[in-house]
Every structure is written in structure tokens, then in C-alpha cells.
Structure 1
Amino acid sequence: METSTKPPDLLAYTDSLLTWVSGRGRILIVVHDNPDPDSLASAMALRHFFAVKLNREAVIAFSGMIGRSENLAMAKLLQIPLTPLPLIDLKSFQVVCLLDTQPGTGNNSLPAGTRTDIVIDHHPMREFSAACRWVDIRPDYGTTATILYEYLKVQGVSIGTKMATALFYAIKSETQDLGREARRADRDAYLDLFPLANKTLLNSITRPSLPREYFISLHSALEHAALYGNVLVASLKGIQFPEVVAELADLLVRLEGTETVLCLGHYSAELVLSIRTSNEEINAGELIRKLVAGIGSAGGHGMMAGGKIDLSDNSEEAIRELENLLTERLLAEMKISDPKPVPLVP
């Protein structure tokens, strides 16, 4: 069983947290690179939490980019205030929070050694998190947004339409409408928030216009996808935004007869990878960490995981060799002894 640090008395815990924060200066909330709806909604909720309870305005910072159309629509329509982390002077903040990520995971851009005071996440506990002052990590929850919803609820903080829409959409997208790794707490939050969410905004977020680059990546994924029994590996080649790798992994895992998907894409000086599985006996987080062992960083949990590898050589040949290595490691872990690739699209 993965370690959970859920406070036994959430009201007392959040009271103490608020008292501690109130005695300090500026507040910084950092989410993981290329933030998804769960991290965006969680940051929006924690910022609202501090604003209502302490009359303090926290700054939300991120690195990378927001490229996926749904995520862009969410940030814009719900007016989530975001600041690029490179523009932040870390020394001017006395409270540093990490949401939907943890110190030393490789998927956030906080410089190594930066003091982190508050960590709230639903991914498995990482080594460096134990040294932080306030740690609420619940791997048995489907989303970080659910945890933040409980903070607002237990403290009696009002939840307006845009906040409800953000939290609801985060749970909806992260758990695929409660069908993927959702627990009772996620279901309760989802049902509580649904009546409060703005359905017109939800429709605009879930069905945004898609850029041409999305279809270029989709074409590349289909063209370079290979089946190894019930495992599929797809290379998107060069990509315009990192999130498209996970987005297409979500699509390809729906292929009939396929249980596990590895998607790969080359962005800037990184190889981005994403794993999705429909087999509940496979831990995608553990699997992807084995794939990148010694060459990259990765994280995740039951049925979904992601990672990246810094590229010292951007040549097509070097990237192809790296993708072949990752494929070999995946097939070895999946115990596919006679790997004969079959093109997805003949």
C-alpha cells in the first residue's frame, strides 16, 4: 500500500497550516511543468483558500507551456492568473507550495535545493517530500483537486461558479469521468461540484477548436505506431507542445485488443514519453521509471505515467536509437519475448 499522509483531522490540520502561513510573507504556488487541469484547478483553489482565509494574494507559477487546447481554454475562460517561473524571484517569497508534484521528481522546474514548505499531491510519496514542513500526499486519491476541494469545504470557504467549474473539470478529466482511478472522495467531490459548475464554460473547455499541429501529431503517431501483441508503441517524432504525447496516449489505449501504450515525442531538447494502460495489474508509474532508469526522470501511478529524457544529441539517428532502447526495455518488462512489430496502419 502506497504511503498516505492524509491528516486524521483535516480541520485541525488546515487551521494549523493557516496559522503558520499567516505569520510569514509572500506566498508562491508552483505546479508541475506543462500544467494539466488537475494542477491548474488545484493552484486556483489553494490561491482562493489563502485569499479568503488570510486575505493574502498568492502567485501561481509554472514552467514549460500550456499547449493542449482544452488546458488553454481552461486557463483563459476561468481566468487563472499564471506567471512563468523564470520571471519569479524566489528569494522574495517566504512560503513556497508545490501542487500535483513533489520536490526532486524532475517534472517541476524549482531549482534543486529550493526550500519547499507545503506539498499537496496525489502521486506516490517521494523521498525529498518528507523533509517539507507541511505534507499532504494521498496516492489513494484520484486527483489533487479533490484534496483542495476538501480544504475549501472543511474551512467553509465559498466556491463560486468558476472555481467549481475548474475543480469539476479537473476531476472529470483526470479520472475520465470517474472511470480511471477514481475513489469515493473523488466521486463525492464530483457530485458536489457538478450542480455548481457552469455548463456552458465546461462545454467550451471540453470541446475547443483544435490547431493544425494536433492533427499533424496525430498523423505521425498513427503512421509510426507499431503493435507488439497487446502493447502499442507510437512515435510522434517532432512535436509542437509536450502535452500532445499524453493526449494521444489516452486516445491510442482505446484501441481494441491493446492494454498498454507508450507514446514518444521530441520537443526542444527533450524526449517526452507517456504510458497509459487499461490493465489494473500494471503500475504505470513503476513501469515508466524502469524505462528511463539512468537516462531520464519520470513519475505517475496506477494507469497513467509520464517522463522525459534530456537529449545531448538531437540528431534523428540518436533519437531513433533512444526510442528503440525504450521500446526494448518496455517489451522486456512486459515479457514479450518475440517482438515482431505490426504496423497499426498498414
Structure 2
Amino acid sequence: MQQHDETEEGSADESTTGRPPISPLDPATGRAQELHDLLAGDEALTVVCHDNPDPDCLASALALSELAADAGIEDVVLCYGGDISHQQNRAFVNLLELDLEPFEPGLLSDRLVAFVDHSVPGENNDVPAETAIDVVIDHHPAESVEARFVDRREDAGATATILTEYVRALDLDLAGRLATALLFAIRRETLGFLRGVTAAEHEAAAVLHPYADAETLRRLASPPVTGATADALGTAIENREIRGAVCISHVGRTGERDALPQAADYLVELEGVGTAVVFGIVEDTIELSGRTTDSRVHIGEVLSDAFDDVGSAGGHREMSGGQVPLGLFADAATDERLVAFVEDIVTDRLVEGMNLPEDEADEG
């Protein structure tokens, strides 16, 4: 880790670093050094991404691996559960040449274990619930978070923002893919600095921008969309129901899990709609994605209240997700019957939980 000479005021001289000074009293500096010291005491690290990782999770994992390397850890593994199926997530992995491995329990043995962008074993990951975690860095709501090092900030717009603070405080090299990954992750997580953004995201972007590759950012922003994803989006648009200012829709059975948040992002922008929830059957699970621009609605709490007794759901005020196992109903005679059953149950729970009109509104 590089060290800077300090000015009389106690901060690094901008003229020698080319970057704005960081106050030694900045809390991020202390937390970053604390994490660095913890990592320096070990030889191997497994960074566990949450299931179906997005750019925020992937960029944060990359940044933590760079921090671990700076602390002297040569054996760093980045792993994930589920699939990387969203076209933007696949482009992120390919263009930034991320080295990822599918999660397996053996990656938890005799190694430090870190979570980024999630925080609880067994929730949105395949890590056994009893596993001791060493590092947690996250910005999602959660309960019973335990680790040797925890930095969980629900007010942060992205986990990548927190990692940017650490990288900046420890003066790690941002050249190359690291700045590009972190900047794109912050942009994507905040929908272009429009959703859940704080001053910290703008400050992080200012630090990252001079080092990010503009062409890679452009390619990441507009990856090609598969025909299956386009079909799922079309199905969600066709199946939409408007109840008050809430749009509820489904994509039926699909292999395009990541089409659900894309559909929710689109439907919440419809005229007169402030909240959108899209669900679909993916293998043997009902997947849900929610979005809201209505300041009166906390969509994370809405999904949690509606589905936590039968699955797991939750998230931020403006964006959330959930999973409900189908159990015995997964063996329903036909997809048509199963989809109709799921549509009725999910819609009824949302209508009751949000106190919505019983009948679909007239959009005409």
C-alpha cells in the first residue's frame, strides 16, 4: 500500500497525487485500514457474490479482491450462485474479464470468507446458515448480520460506493478495469444517479471518472438483448393490470429471470403508475421484482410483508425482489394451470397488502 507525505493540515498534497485530499479524520479511512489489517493476517480469501450477481455486486467483489492483493493475499477466489443471465451482467463479466467460479462449499474451508452486496448466510446465497463470515460490505436492509468486519450502510446508493471509498482511502491503483467497473456499477445501481442516490455516489463518480474507460462504459450501457428477454418483456407488458397507481404483471414461466427487473423498470414509468411488481415462474420458484417512484411506498417492506411467511422478500424503498418456492405446486399438471394459480395467489397478496382496488382500473 502506498503512503503519502502529508501537508501541514494533515492530508495528502493534491499536487503530488493528482486527486483531491482525504482528511485523516474521514471515517472511511479508518474502516479501510481496519479491513486491510484484517486481510493482511491471512493467506486465502473467498469473496462470495449473491445469487445471480449484478454489476454492483461484481464490481464490489473485484474491488475487494484488489484490496486483498494489496494486503498480501495471493489466493483470492470470486464465486457466485445461480446464473449470470442478464445481458448486461454477462457483458460486465466478459468485457472486464472477471475470473469467477461457481460457488461450492469447499471454498469456505480454511479461508477468510467475505460477502459483498449481501450479508446473511443462506439468504440470496447458497452458503450454509451456520457459516462464520469474516467480512460483510453491503447497502441492503438486513437483520442479524454477524462478521468480524461489518460495513453495512442502508443509506448508501450502492455497495460499490463503499468500496470506492476504501480504494481511494488506501490509494490503490484505479487504472484499468477497476475504475470502469466501479463507476458503471454505481451508475447502474442508481439508474444513472436518479434512484437512491446520495452525495457519496457523486463524490465516488468524480474520483473514478478520470480513470474509467469511456468505450467500455458505452458498451456496457447498451448490450445486445436476447430474443427470449424481449419476449418476456412483451409478455409482461401484455399481462399488466393497473390497480390505482400500481401495476402488477407476470411473465408466466420463463428462463429469463433477469427480464423481471427490466420489466418492472419499464412498467413503473407508465403514465399514472407509481409502483410496479412483476413476477414469474423460474424453474421451481416464483421470482418477484418491484419498483416504485411513489414516496409513500416502501416497496421492500411491501414485498417482505406480503411474502416473507412463504418465502423471502425485501429490499430498498425504491427497488426490491423476492423468491417463493413452489413446493408441491411445481408438479402441477400443466404450465397453464400453474401460471393461473400463481397469478391469483400473488395478485391477491399484493392487493391485500397494498390495500388496492379489487378490480383492474380502466386505462382507456
TM-score by length of 2: 0.87
One-letter amino acid of the structure 2 residue matched with residue 182 of structure 1:
V
Larger Rg: 2
Task: Note the alpha carbon deviations across 1:166-222, whole angstroms, 9 max, x for none.
Answer: 111101111011110100101111222223211111111111111110111012112
Q: Quick check: 2:43–2:73 contact (8 Å CA) kept in 1?
A: no
- Match of 1:304? 319
Q: Could you list the runs of 5+ residues in structure 2 that have no partner in the other structure? A: 1-24
Query: Does 2:350 match 1:322?
Result: no
User: Is the CA contact 2:297–2:317 (under 8 Å) kept in the aligned structure 1?
Assistant: yes
One of 211, 215, 233 as aligned partner of 2:226: 211
Matched, 1:165 2:180: yes
Alignment deviations for residues 206-246 of structure 1 (CA, whole Å, 9 cap, x no partner): 11111110111012112211111211111101222322111
Distance 1:187 1:331, change over 3 A: same
* 1:181/1:105 CA distance change after superposition, 3 Å: farther
Q: Hey, what does 1:44 align to over in structure 2?
A: 62
- Aligned mate of 1:53, from 51, 71, 96: 71
After superposition, residues 66-105 of structure 1 pair within 5 angstroms as 66-86=84-104, 89-104=106-121
- Taking only aligned residues, the RMSD between alpha carbons, in angstroms, comes to 1.9
Trace 1:239-258 onto structure 2 (pairs within 5 A): 239-258=254-273
- How far apart in 2 are the matches of 1:325 and 1:191? 46
- What's 2:168 paired with? 153
The aligned length equals: 335
Matched, 1:335 2:350: no
1:22-59 Cα shifts (integer Å, max 9, x gaps): 22231000111000110011001101111123243411
Q: Is the contact made by 2:45 and 2:73 (CA closer than 8 Å) also made in structure 1?
A: no
Code of the residue aligned with 1:262 in structure 2: it is: V
Q: Distance in 2 between matches of 1:259 and 1:114?
A: 40
Cross-structure match for 1:288:
303
The answer as to whether partners of 2:253 and 2:339 remain within 8 angstroms in 1 is: no
Is 1:272 the counterpart of 2:310? The answer is: no
Residue 20 to residue 194, structure 1, CA distance change in 2 (3 Å): closer
1:63 aligns with: 81
Which digits, 9 at most, give the CA deviation of each residue in 1:128-153, with x for residues without a partner?
x1x31111000010000000000100
Shift in CA distance, 297/148, structure 1 to aligned 2, threshold 3 Å? same
Provide the rounded CA distance (Å) in 1 between the counterparts of 2:234 and 2:177: 35
Correspondent of 1:122 among 139, 143, 149: 139
Kindly provide the amino acid, as one letter, of the partner of residue 170 in structure 2. Q
> Relative contact order (C-alpha < 8 Å, sep 6+): which is higher?
1
> Is contact 1:107–1:298 with CA below 8 Å preserved after alignment?
no
- Structure 1 range deviating more: 268-277 or 107-116: 107-116
Please list every run of 5 or more consecutive structure 1 residues that lacks an aligned counterpart in the other structure.
1-6
